[in-house]
Amino acid sequence: MTDIIEKGRVRHPEKAHRPDQEVKRKPAWIRVKAPVSPAYHETRRIIRENGLATVCEEAACPNIGECWAKKHATMMIMGEICTRACSFCNVATGKPGALDPFEPVNVATAVASLGLKHVVITSVDRDDLDDGGAAHFAAVIEAVREAAPETTIEVLTPDFLRKEGALELVVAAKPDVFNHNLETVPRLYGEVRPGARYFHSLRLLDQAKRLDPTLFTKSGIMVGLGEGKEEVAQVMDDLRSADVDFLTIGQYLQPTPKHHVVDRFVTPEEFKLYETQAFGKGFHMVAATPLTRSSYHAGEDFERLRTARAAKLAAG
């Protein structure tokens, strides 16, 4: 588990006053191996050399050993400090610094050095910027295209709430996948994603597909936050009505005693039921396992998604 204080700095000032909540012991199906492989260290070296941040580290992702051993790192752009304060998230909150003009080229260099077939690029929320960081996202996409033209690009963006024209800038840069996570069911937004609006996020996904119907769209939720199964089904229906292609569902894990508690650990069998239900509702691709994260196996899953959509279109 990571700590709320790091290098003498409080990572989550808005959570510091909260009483500690008991962190539940993880069930056997959640346990992961410690990262030890040489490829893991090589990935780490490339990330450090290019001065980049990853959500794998900042969010204390349990899959880091497996993903980095395959050189799959998810870049987190626009700094390591987020302007929102979601109760589940381990990324530090506060006042971020200025954008790094060299970041697009550094990300592109790292993608080329890692030899990635598919890259996921995400960011902190930048409510402090007029465009929410959309132009910077576009610059990163363009730089990666130039340095690694064969690499497919997935962006996992913030919601660009009250940032007129931001989504258009990102879509115009032509990522292969536009991903924006709903994170949870609408009833829990007030406690889980207080700075966000469920229907705004849904509309963002819908608009992305309308702006470019060739774009693949993707969204995900965490379970184990206190949602009901019928509420998860409603989110699936909402996402299908926004023509979202790919749904991810994973178990929420509590990063520190100050974060949102785990309501329960959903069993692998229940995840399987969610997967079946989601495919039944028409998603082209579904990933639903306890360790699923937006970027987990994203390259392999993108290939499956592309194949599945092509087959459905061919079948009329």
Q: Enumerate binding residues for ligand SF4 (CB under 6 A).
A: 55-56, 61, 63-64, 67, 72, 74, 293, 295-296
C-alpha to C-alpha distance for 4 and 254, rounded to whole angstroms: 12
Which residue is listed with tokens 């119907």?
213
Residues in the chain: 316
**Which stretch of DSSP H or E encloses residue 174?**
none
In this structure, are residues 80 and 91 in contact, taking their beta carbons and an 8 Å threshold?
yes
Between CA 84 and CA 124 the distance in angstroms is 8
Residue 72 vs 193, nearer CB to ligand SF4: 72
| Identity of the residue, 265 or 296, whose beta carbon is nearer to ligand SF4 in the bound complex | 296
Least distance from ligand SF4 to the Cβ atom of residue 226, Å: 23
Nearer to ligand SF4, 109 or 295 (CB): 295
CB of 56 to ligand SF4, least distance (A): 3
Query: Rounded to the nearest whole angstrom, what is the least distance from the CB of residue 181 to ligand SF4 in the complex?
Result: 12
From CA 249, how far away is CA 278, in angstroms rounded? 10
In the complex, least distance from residue 289 CB atom to ligand SF4, rounded to whole angstroms: 11
**Closest approach of ligand SF4 to the CB of residue 264, in Å:** 22
Q: Would you say 11 or 293 has its CB closer to ligand SF4?
A: 293
Q: How far is the CB of 199 from ligand SF4 (least distance, A)?
A: 27
Please tell me the distance from the alpha carbon of residue 75 to that of residue 167, in angstroms, as a whole number. 19
Distance of alpha carbon 159 from the chain centroid: 12
Structure tokens at 225: 């936050």
Of 123 and 129, nearer to ligand SF4 (C-beta) is 123
Query: Going by DSSP bridges, is the β-strand pair 152-156/177-179 parallel, antiparallel, or unpaired?
Result: parallel
Q: Which is nearer to ligand SF4, 70 or 240 (CB)?
A: 70
Closest approach of Cβ 30 to ligand SF4, in Å? 13
> Between 268-280 and 229-241, two packed helices, what is the crossing angle to 10 degrees?
30
Question: Nearer to ligand SF4 by C-beta: 44 or 264?
Answer: 44
Separation of alpha carbons 174 and 172, rounded Å: 5
Q: How far is CA 260 from CA 79, 188, 267, in A?
A: 24, 11, 20
